[in-house]
Chain A
Amino acid sequence: MSIAIVGIGMHRFGRTPGMSGRQQAVVATRDALADAGVDWKDVQFAVGGSASGGFADTLVNELGLTGTAFINVSNGCATGASALMVAASMIEAEQADLCVAVGFDKHEPGAFNADPESVGLGAWYGSTGLMLTTQFFGMKIQRYLHDHELPVSLLAKVSAKAFRNGALNPNAWRRTPLSEHDIAEAPMVSDPLTKYMFCSPGEGAVALVLASGKPLRVFRGIQPLAGARTRRQSDRRGCRGLL
C-alpha cells in the first residue's frame, strides 16, 4: 500500500494577535487542500489536535459539514505527528483513500504549567515548583554534556544554527539571526539553558493531505512527496517529556 503526502499547508508560527488557533488551523487546512488540488468534500477522514487551541473536530464548522469523520488526538508535543500516524494508518487499513491531518495551537506566553495529577503525580509536585518542562530540559542536557564530555559553549552553537535557519524560513517565528555570544549571554532560564536555547510555546498550524495510491491516480496524477511513517515510544529510562 503506498501512502503519500499530496498537500501541505501552514499558518506561520509566532504570535498572531486577534486570530484564534482554530482560525489558523482553517488557514493551514485550506492551503493543504489547495496544494493537493482537492476539495474538503473529497476528504473521507480527518484527524487533528491541539493542546490549548481548541478541538480539531469543530473545524468542520468552517471547512464544511460534509459528514466527514473527524477524530481528535491529544498527545502533547507529538499531537501533530500522532494525527499523521492515525491518518496514515486509516489509509493503510483501507478505511479511507483521502485524509487530512492537522495540528495547531495558541499557547499563552511563558512556560507550561501542567496539572501534575493529570499525569499521575501528587499535587505537591507542582506546588513545590518541580513540574516545569524548562527544568526537565535543563537537567537532561546537563547530564548529556557530562556523559559525553561536551562543552557548554556547544549549546549556543546549536541555537545559533536554529536561528540562522529560521531567518531563511518565512513561516518561522524567530527570523532574526543571533550570534553565539548573544545567545550565551541572554538571561539564564534553567541552567545551562538561556532564554534563546528554548523553543517557546507559541502559535501556528500545519495541515497535510494524505492519499492512497488510488486517488493519486485520480487527482491530477500527483506524485508522492514522501512515504508517511511515524513511530513514537517512551524513554526506556522512565523519563517523560511533559508536553
Chain B
Amino acid sequence: MRHSTPIVGQPPAGSLHQLPDDRFIDPDLMCDDENGVTLRGSRCDGCGAITFPTQSSCPRCAGTDMSAHPLPRRGTLWTFTIQRFRPKSPYDGPIEFEPYAVGYVNLADQVLVEARLSLRPDQVPRIGDEMELVFTPYTCTPDGVTVTTYAFRTVTDENGGQS
C-alpha cells in the first residue's frame, strides 16, 4: 500500500516518544534522552550555540568542540509555507502528489528547525502556534517499505497541551 505525504488536511500519523518500526529517513538525525527519542542537535562547548543537524564546528564562534545535545520536543511555529507542486528529484515522495506544509519551529529559543508540518484537515497554521515533534510517513519505496521522517504538529487539548 502506498502511503501519501503528510497532506495538508489529513490527520498526522506518528508516535511521540519512540522511533516507528518503519525505515527512518536518517537515523543520525535522532537521539535518545530520558524521555525517549528526539532530534539530535549539537551544542558548542565554547559559546553555547546550538545547531540542527549536528555540526563538528560552531557556525557562530568557529570553535571545534561540539557536544551532542538532544533538542526540546516542543516549540513555536516561526514561519511556514505550503509546497503546492511536486518537487523534482532528489525528492522521492509519492508520484501522486499532495501538497504538504513546511515550516521553521523555534525550539526554546535554542535553534530554528526546518521541518514538515503535520496539520489537521483544513488547518491553517499561524506563526506562534505551539508545536510538538512527531514522526510521519512521507513515502514508500518501490519494494513497499514505508519511509518516515520527523515533523511537527500543533499541540492540541486532546494530546495534552493548549489548543
A contacts, CB < 8 Å to B: 110-111, 113, 115-116, 121-124, 126-132, 134-135, 138-140, 142-143, 146, 187-193, 238
Contacts and interface: CB of A to CB of B under 8 A. Distances in A.
B90 A115 contact: yes
Contact of B87 (A111, A124, A139): A111
A134 B26 CA distance: 24
A132 B83 contact: yes
A111 B83 CA distance: 12
A10 B104 CA distance: 39
Nearest to B126: A146
Nearest to B49: A238
Shortest Cβ-Cβ A-B pairs, 4 listed = A138-B81, A126-B90, A113-B88, A143-B79
A16 B25 CA distance: 40
28 contacts: A111-B88, A113-B88, A113-B89, A113-B90, A113-B91, A115-B90, A116-B90, A122-B26, A124-B25, A124-B26, A124-B149, A127-B91, A128-B91, A128-B93, A128-B116, A129-B87, A129-B100, A130-B114, A132-B83, A138-B82, A140-B79, A143-B79, A143-B104, A187-B84, A189-B84, A189-B85, A190-B81, A191-B80
Contact of B92 (A127, A139, A193): A127
Interface of B: 5, 25-26, 28-29, 53, 59, 78-85, 87-93, 100, 102-104, 114-116, 127, 138-139, 149
Nearest to A114: B90
A186 to B, nearest CB: 11
Nearest to B28: A122
B82 to A, nearest CB: 5
B25 A139 contact: no
B5, B79, B89, B104 — which one has the most chain A CB atoms within 10 A of its CB?
B79
A127, A134, A193 — which one has the most chain B CB atoms within 10 A of its CB?
A127
Contacts of A111: 85, 87-88
Contacts of B28: 122
B46 to A, nearest CB: 17
B103 A188 contact: no
Nearest to B60: A238
Contacts of B93: 128-129
A132 B5 CA distance: 17
A142 B114 contact: no
A139 B83 contact: no
